[in-house]
Amino acid sequence: MRIVITGASRGLGYELAVVAAKRGHHVIAGVRDKAAAEARYGKLDDSLRAQIAFVELDVTSDESIERLAAGLSESGSPVDALVNNAAILLGRDHDIESMSFNDLAESFETNLFGPIKMIQALLPMLRTASMPSIMNISSEAGAYAGVYAGDYPYGLSKSALTYLSEKLRKELEPQGFQVLAIHPGWMKTDMGGEQAPGDPAQTAEQLVGILERVRPLKVKQHGFVDSAGREMEI
Ligand code: NDP
């Protein structure tokens, strides 16, 4: 498979790229700082590194998304999977009165508009794959079930991403696409923090397994699932 991953410089995105490469897939790793990412990936074996191509990608930049899409289109090969993983978590500690509209706008730009623009730009290449997938990394922080006070910018943007993903599933599943919003669990990353129980490398194994569609995931009610493919409460 040829898999495009956004936010592949660190955290879950990095682990997804490594796991996918280990399983023989070709990875287009979207990173904002190519030199820093290459240094980080430089620790891997050459054979693994050969499976991973880095592209400079900021999901808030139309120009950078268009450049990526043009490069992929020129290559003529299908894109089998798009993983919208890049995200930011801003303004955690603010209540409704102190919430900043800048934080809200930035969160929507990155966590919702970024994935939408990526989907629009890559759909032509995804359509040429035999079993295309769009995986939107969302969060239970955007679910109505278990909703908690605060965290407005992140929660609202992820809630919208999960909803977007479901609408997209209705549109594209009849055309052979697998479209899922994923809650990856609380993981030890820069975003999740040291105290998180989850190992992003293990989560990445599960998610690449879902993309491979060896045992196709049959969801009953909606496509918002955890990393084991079980439907979340929405
Ligand atoms: P990290 O904060 O560790 O990494 C975020 C990644 O997103 C980095 O690669 C970062 O790149 C990239 N990124 C941020 N903004 C942009 C942008 N504008 N354009 C391109 N890339 C960008 O996050 P995690 O790995 O923990 O999270 C991965 C996904 O999982 C996210 O969608 C997150 O919301 C979700 N999630 C995480 C949980 C957790 O416990 N960690 C829990 C639930 C969901 P750079 O290095 O350049 O900053």
List per-block mean pLDDT (blocks of 10 residues) for the chain, which spans 234 residues: 98 98 98 96 95 97 98 96 98 95 98 98 97 98 95 98 98 97 98 98 98 90 97 95
Enclosing domain of residue 65 = 2-226
- Which residues 6+ apart lie within 8 Å of 176 measured at CB? 130, 131, 132
String of DSSP letters for 135-148: EEE--GGG-STT--
For 123, half-sphere exposure in the C-beta direction (CA atoms, 13 angstrom radius) is 12
Total structural domains in the chain?
Answer: 1
Whether residue 148 lies in the annotated active site = no
Rounded to the nearest 5 degrees, what angle is found at the Cα of 179, between the Cα atoms of 13 and 68? Answer: 50
ipTM: 0.99
Crossing angle of the two packed helices 152-172 and 114-126, in degrees rounded to 10: 20
Q: Is 59 in the pocket of ligand 1 (CB under 6 A)?
A: yes
Question: Rounded to whole angstroms, what are the CA distances from 196 to 111, 184, 192?
Answer: 21, 12, 6
Question: What is the C-alpha separation between 203 and 205, in angstroms, rounded?
Answer: 5
Asked if the structure places residue 195 within a domain, the reply is: yes
Q: Is 84 in the pocket of ligand 1 (CB under 6 A)?
A: no
String of DSSP letters for 122-134: HHHHHTTSSS-EE
- The identity of residue 31, as a single letter, is V
Q: Is 108 in the pocket of ligand 1 (CB under 6 A)?
A: no
Q: What six digits make up the tokens of 74?
A: 């020129």
Nearest CA to ligand 1 atom 8: 7
Asked if the structure places residue 151 within a domain, the reply is: yes
Contact 52, 21 (CB under 8 A): yes
Question: What is the C-alpha separation between 192 and 141, in angstroms, rounded?
Answer: 12
Asked if the structure places residue 131 within a domain, the reply is: yes
Asked if the structure places residue 110 within a domain, the reply is: yes
Asked if the structure places residue 232 within a domain, the reply is: no
CATH code of the domain containing 35: 3.40.50.720
Specify the pLDDT at position 152. 97
Q: What six digits make up the tokens of 56?
A: 């400079």
Nearest CA to ligand 1 atom 2: 191
Specify the pLDDT at position 215. 81
For 50, half-sphere exposure in the C-beta direction (CA atoms, 13 angstrom radius) is 4
Crossing angle of the two packed helices 34-41 and 11-22, in degrees rounded to 10: 50
Question: What is the C-alpha separation between 30 and 95, in angstroms, rounded?
Answer: 33
3-state secondary structure of 8: coil
Specify the pLDDT at position 216. 82
Helix (H) or strand (E) run with residue 75 in it:
helix 62-75
Q: Is 223 in the pocket of ligand 1 (CB under 6 A)?
A: no
Asked if the structure places residue 231 within a domain, the reply is: no
- Only one residue has tokens 């023989």, namely 24
Asked if the structure places residue 157 within a domain, the reply is: yes
- Which residues 6+ apart lie within 8 Å of 112 measured at CB? 157, 160, 161, 164
- Does the model's pTM come out above 0.90? yes
Asked if the structure places residue 90 within a domain, the reply is: yes
